[in-house]
Chains A and B, each alone.
Chain A
Amino acid sequence: AQSVTQLGSHVSVSEGALVLLRCNYSSSVPPYLFWYVQYPNQGLQLLLKYTSAATLVKGINGFEAEFKKSETSFHLTKPSAHMSDAAEYFCAVSGNNDMRFGAGTRLTVKP
Chain B
Amino acid sequence: DTGVSQDPRHKITKRGQNVTFRCDPISEHNRLYWYRQTLGQGPEFLTYFQNEAQLEKSRLLSDRFSAERPKGSFSTLEIQRTEQGDSAMYLCASSLGTGVLKRGNEQFFGPGTRLTVL
Contact = CB atoms under 8 A, between A and B. Distances in A.
A78 B73 CA distance: 38
Contact of A49 (B44, B48, B104): B104
Interface string A40-53: 01111110010110
A94 B43 contact: no
Given A99-B43, A104-B42, A46 B112 contact: no
Contact of B4 (A9, A43, A95): A43
A66 B91 CA distance: 28
A100 B40 CA distance: 15
A97 B40 contact: no
A51 B101 CA distance: 8
B40 A98 contact: no
A96 B103 contact: yes
Given A44-B91, A46-B106, A97 B42 contact: no
A98 to B, nearest CB: 4
Nearest to B92: A43
A17 B83 CA distance: 44
Interface in A37-73: 41-46, 49, 51-52
A97 B43 contact: no
B54 to A, nearest CB: 11
A43 B104 contact: no
A104 B104 contact: no
Most A CB contacts (10 A, CB to CB) among B33, B103, B110 go to B103
Interface of B: 4, 33, 35, 40-45, 48, 55-56, 58, 91, 93, 101, 103-104, 106-112, 114
